[in-house]
A = this chain, B = another copy of it.
Amino acid sequence: MEQTMAQDELHEECGVFGIYDLDGHDVASSIYYGLFALQHRGQESCGIAVSETQGPKGKVSSFKDMGLVNEVFNAENLERLKGDIGVGHVRYSTAGASTRENAQPLVLNYVKGTLALAHNGNLINANELRHDLEYTGAIFQTTIDSEVIAYHIARERLKVGTVEEAVQRAAAKMKGAYSIVVMSPRKLIGARDPFGFKPLCIGKRDNSYIITSETCALETIGAKFVRDVKPGEVVTINGEGEIFSDMTNAIDPCKEGRCIFEYIYFARADSHFDGISVYDARIKAGRFLAQDSPVEADLVVGVPESGNAAALGYAMESGIPYGTAFVKNSYVGRTFIKPKQSSREQSVRVKLNVVKEAVAGKRIIMIDDSIVRGTTSGLIVNMLKEAGAKEVHVRISAPPFLWPCYFGTDIPAREQLIAYNRSIEDIRDLIGADSLGYLRIERLKEMVSGLPICEGCFTGTYPLAPPTEDIRGEYER
């Protein structure tokens, strides 16, 4: 038996959440709620580390394990996490390195006491940095980039006067995507790579300050959005509630490169990054599809959940009614096992079913956010036809997916991508649709009102030169 459908989806590689309650209240339950709001960013492991800023300097309580937030945490272990400053993490990783040892936050003792660190992103020079460290006698107990970052912070701390300077200097050595939250005994620090690949924002609730991956986590705990952490910025929040900004690592804003897939797929529709609402971007993508790939039809439907907003945009723009074609079974989770004799079709059917009455006899425009391998798409098109749809026109709210990502998204090998070496017409034929339209690459920047973005997975051109070797090879087991 094996887990299922995971193979035909893309995966984010983490969410981070840090909080400092200046009034000294325990923060573990706020982190717990925040991680629920970030769960879509990583479902393999999660963890929380907290500390008492008024207690013995450096006493950290932490708990982390494989599993979802509601599997890992219970009344008992949450109760034991006492502290007014803390960080949390949810993680997705490729199967091999998905071990308990690699769960985050990383908690460590170093020259100046303790530190807990949560990281979202992927470094492309992690191996070089790792080797350099090893040649000065470092030992590594995990295979995650966070440990490399932690080492560099510790080493820089020997040279400079504050932990935030050490974070800035360590960050200057990192190449790639990183949004980091660091808990030191009396400071909460956030850092975002100069390209701004991954989101990171600041929030506030009463006398508590939060640094986290998405604004939806702020709203979930009742906090207000303060501002985004800027690309290249190191932000420090101290015990007086002062926010210090260090822009040493920043680059020319025009060279920044936000991950466009955060807007298309990864992020929650109720989040906004760098001034752009995820929901608005998706609505726009739908509108662009309606403009660029129009088709006569009776109903626009989204593949839940992520296709719904673009479908709404398509419906608004085209005037074709929006409808619901599918019931999604939310009880079929990560741990769903696939009995031996089950087919892939069975695995899709248990997750998704068509509402016959909604589609029978109709020409359907079906909006999805991506086609990866194409197997699931083909099955869904087929389900619509079986339910009586006269035509099924598939529209994808992103361009064809063609290149690897080195900055934090887990993508299958090129050969497994349906768009690799295939024409749109071939793909249409394979998935059995009556017509197929992708979002035009030119539309991506328009979707986010001109923000500089990374669209490497569609174009092969990255804001930062990708590594020449497979960066996952050596340490992932």
Q: Which residues of A contact B (CB under 8 A)?
A: 1, 25-26, 28-29, 32-33, 36-37, 39-40, 43, 59-60, 68-71, 73-75, 78, 101, 106-111, 115, 130, 134-141, 143, 147, 150-151, 154-155, 158, 216, 219-222, 268-270, 272, 277, 279-280, 305, 308-309, 312, 316, 321-324, 327, 329-333, 335-337, 339-342, 345-346, 349-350, 353-358, 475, 477
Contact = CB atoms under 8 A, between A and B. Distances in A.
A111 B140 contact: no
A2 B40 CA distance: 24
Nearest to A29: B339
B36 A329 contact: yes
A82 to B, nearest CB: 12
A357 B60 CA distance: 39
A327 B215 CA distance: 13
9 contacts: A29-B340, A109-B141, A110-B134, A111-B138, A136-B158, A139-B151, A268-B327, A268-B353, A312-B323
Assembly stoichiometry (copies): 4
B150 A280 contact: no
A463 to B, nearest CB: 27
A225 to B, nearest CB: 10
A324 B308 contact: yes
A1 B331 contact: no
A74 B337 contact: yes
A137 B109 contact: no
A158 B135 contact: yes
A286 B358 CA distance: 15
A220 B78 contact: no
Nearest to A302: B324
A353 B216 contact: yes
A383 B268 CA distance: 17
Contact of A75 (B134, B139, B337, B477): B337
A269 B324 CA distance: 10
Given A337-B78, A346-B222, A137 B111 contact: yes
